[in-house]
Amino acid sequence: MELTGKRITLGVTGGIAAYKAAELVRLLIKQGARVQVAMTEAATHFVTPVTFQALSGNTVFSDQWDPRVANNMAHIDLSRDADVLLIAPASADFLAKVANGLADNLLSTLTLARDCPLLVAPAMNRQMWENAATQRNIATLRGDGVTVIGPARGEQACGETGLGRMIEPEDILAEVIAFFQPKHLAGKKLLLTAGPTFEAIDPVRGITNLSSGKMGFAVARAAQEAGAEVTLVCGPVSQPTPRGVMRIDVISALEMHTEVMQRAATQDIFIGVAAVADYRPATAAEHKIKKDGSAAPPIELVQTPDILADVAALPSPPFCVGFAAESQNLAEYAQKKRAAKKIPLIVGNLIQDGFGGDNNTLILFDDNGQRPLSPAPKIELARQLVAHIANLLENR
């Protein structure tokens, strides 16, 4: 429940995407937020206030003159009691009003009167989004410190396809969660690896491991939440890419090494989370190796490149962080790996504690000794790791 205790006023404006706002309320509540909904009159033509009242458990407001508010100042009360004001969907008309300081209904008035941050999720036809007037309004809003979430590209209710579709409720939720995270790494460029590698024996077989990539993707998400510009080089996994993260898919250790070394010199931070195969077949068979009753064919193995060591050995290396997944003697092996690669920080874990799962138990090893992190979901551990890296960068 990553939004426990957060108070969110959700503004819903007129547009077919208003139906998605109902799911957004459900997701926000599930994450522990208290949600107060305010609607424009146009929005009530798409989804009724009763729906939002049932989902949020709170009275829904749409009338600027609603007598249920004791002081008849809903436009003041609804923003003073909020940690953030989120408008989703935000129509072209409503964005124009906010950009130009207009206040002709409850929602536009409370937006103008707010003393909390404003997030908007635009939703409109592609032509309306691309219109020069809308783009001027968006530029004005961003200049005023408003966070603009989306829009996405895709099919629209009118039958056209293009940019202007409201991003999905799950993605808006992720953006809201990210908004509340401390921006420890604002302005930093961060490169990391995640997942396994696959070293081909023949066209269908290979050497790999059971890494799910979940820890690496959690670190990528946490770094992006902390304000970093994140590039993720990942092996063959099916994890969804965190919003705002640039993803590069690779298969083998050689491919991962190439992609990393092309970018590492321009980065502030490199984190090697991937479970890279230590060895690969010297040659891969062109065709599938057939079992014909004779002895098993010999497979000659050669070492793969040491990506972390090569990045750390650059003339001006980024701040390097390694991961050590061990089955025993964690402290001994992790410290030995940190010393051998000459890196400031290594993150250790026992594979029986989290390999492939959603939770993990980590120990951070640096010049100050070791710092154990209590068992927790991987995203929580990733946020603690990011905060620790930021602290080491600030004090080095």
Burial class (CB in 10 A: 0-12, 13-18, 19+), 377: middle
Q: Which of 393, 382, 365, 338 is nearest to 189 (CA)?
A: 393
Are 243 and 171 within 8 A, CB to CB? yes
CA 209 to chain centre: 25
- Of 116, 158, 234, 320, the active-site residue reads 158
Q: How far is CA 314 from the centre of its chain?
A: 29
Number of residues in the chain:
396
Indicate the helix (H) or strand (E) that contains 163.
strand 161-165
User: And the tokens for 291?
Assistant: 């079992």
At residue 331, the 3 state secondary structure works out as helix
**Alpha carbon distance 261, 65 (integer Å):** 62
The residues, any chain, with a CB within 8 Å of residue 296's CB and separated by 6 or more, are: none
Residue 202: which of 118, 297, 109 has the closest Cα? 297
Amino acid at the residue 226: A
Spatial strand order in the sheet of 229-234: 246-249, 229-234, 189-194, 269-272, 319-326, 345-350, 359-366, 369-377
- Closest Cα partner for 167 from 107, 106, 119? 119
- d(CA 88, CA 82) in angstroms, rounded, equals 16
158 among known catalytic residues: yes
Distance CA 336, CA 340 (A): 6
* Residues annotated catalytic, as ranges: 158
